[in-house]
Amino acid sequence: MEREVSALLFCLLLLPPLSSLCGLSQQRERIRDAKERELTDAELEAIVDLNDIDRFDEYLQPMLVRRVSGSAAHAAVRQHIIDSLESLGWTVETDDFVDAIPEVDDEMQGTLNFSNVIGTWNRDGGRNLVLGCHYESKYFSATSGFMGATDSAVSCAILIDIAASLTPFLQEQQIETGLQLMFFDGEEAFLRWSSEDSLYGSRHLAQLWQDTPHPLNDSCTMLDSIVRRRHFHAIPPHLVFRGEKKLDEAGIQRGIFVPQELLVVLDLFGTELGCSGCTRVLNFFEITSETYQEISTVESRLEFLGLLEPHQNDRTYFHPDPMFAEGFLEDDHIPFWERGVKVIHGMPFPYPPVWHKETDNADAIHWVTVENLLRILRGFTAQYLGIQPLSSPESSPPLFK
């Protein structure tokens, strides 16, 4: 995850909303009451009651292994993600492809098989809140023991646990916006971070969507249906014209091409946040600043109500003030952001002290922080989707074993 740091000065130009977008403009511009509502104090308390750290740990433990792309362990983790979501009744599909990688050593060179995993609930709704993370661990050498517990096994387990806790509500309530989880493969660079050696999975999927006709209207592409506003950035040269290869798409199922409202990418979660000297999440994108503030507000309300686990609260986990350094950190959101998708980059900065070290293992996990992140992100997701957590579902989702 050797992300390059680009220039901090950007010029953002927002043009008016497109009057017509592939015949979907009326649907795309509809304002939903659910997005405007705010969870009550009692509903936030109900969200906290959904936390089950044992359930979370069931999802996390199989991922606490060295899981380099293309390895048997990586395949096992991928299957664990698929099985976990399918056991909840989600639709799960994969975006499988082959790409060239640089020569690292005798063990890692040539081409490699990659596979993005996409889980969707209620995709007939037409639009989705998308939560994403990368699930492979970085390759250093054939003998390296790097596990990547916070990079990014914890983030992946958070997404699955959110799905597990909210699925009963999605089953029984009329939710207009769907929920989609993306587990990207090949986020890490194999040799040196560059436009070609990084973000293999997200680059492939974003390009694939750009090249794929919309299933409801083949006169436009999937990305045309995602973008509400055309916005142009003074993007540094290394972020432009990446030159993705158009790979064989014959095996890709069209079902994964569902319009996104917002893509939230999580990364490097698991170490302590919020204390003096600790890293924290920053608000980088102006176009999604108000939505990011919703996450920060959920955190502040949970803290005020005494619904977070006691922690060193010198600073919030999610920095409330805007930074607006768009493109400052490269991650799996970049290929989508370059194409006009609204994104939030949920990643602590500066990087945690265990970043890319073999000490990034189970011992690096700060469980109080993880418990609180689950409460905050579950609360945000429920609020964004318009879930009513006090309407108790008849049954709880099965726990994947």
* Tokens matching residue 399: 């726990």
Q: What is the pLDDT, as a whole number, of residue 124?
A: 60
The Cα 287–Cα 324 span in angstroms is 9
Residue 104 domain-assigned? yes
Rounding to the nearest 10 degrees, give the CA dihedral for residues 122, 124, 126, 131.
30
337 assigned to some structural domain: yes
Specify if 281 maps to a domain: no
Under 8 Å between Cβ of 60 and 320 = no
- Catalytic annotation, residues: 187, 267
In whole angstroms, give the CA distance from residue 131 to residue 386.
16
Neighbouring CB atoms inside 10 A of 276's CB total: 7
What pLDDT, on the 0 to 100 scale, is given for residue 259?
55
Is residue 317 within 8 Å of 368, Cβ to Cβ?
Answer: no
**For residue 129, which of 175, 78, 187, 81 has the smallest C-alpha distance?**
175
Does residue 377 contact residue 157 with C-beta atoms inside 8 Å?
no
In a domain, 331, yes or no: yes
Domain encompassing residue 374? 13-269+325-385
Residue 398 falls inside a structural domain? no
Is residue 254 very low, low, confident or very high in pLDDT (cuts 50, 70, 90)?
Answer: very low
Q: How far apart are alpha carbons 62 and 108 in whole angstroms?
A: 24
pTM (whole model) above 0.75? yes
pLDDT digits (tens, 9 = 90+) for 149-166: 999 999 999 999 999 999
SS3 190: coil
CATH code for position 370:
3.40.630.10
Reported as a single tens digit per residue, the pLDDT across 311-355 is 876 679 999 888 877 777 999 999 999 988 899 999 999 999 999
Query: Which tens digits make up the pLDDT trace of 34-49?
Result: 446 799 999 999 999 9
For residue 95, the one-letter residue type is D
Q: Number of folded domains in the chain?
A: 1
Domain for residue 294, yes or no? no
Q: For residue 70, tell me if it sits in a domain.
A: yes
Q: In whole angstroms, what is the distance from residue 13 CA to residue 84 CA?
A: 42
Q: What's the per-residue H, E or C state across 243-303?
A: CCCCCCCCCCCHHHCCCEEEEEEECCCCCCECCCCCEEEEECCHHHHHHHHHHHHHHHHHH
Identify the three-state secondary structure at position 319. Answer: strand
**CA separation for the pair 93, 8 (Å, rounded):** 37
Bridge partners of residue 273, in order along the sequence: 279
pLDDT tens, 182-206? 999 999 999 999 999 999 999 999 9
- Does residue 399 fall inside a structural domain? no
Q: Are 133 and 152 in contact (CB under 8 A)?
A: yes
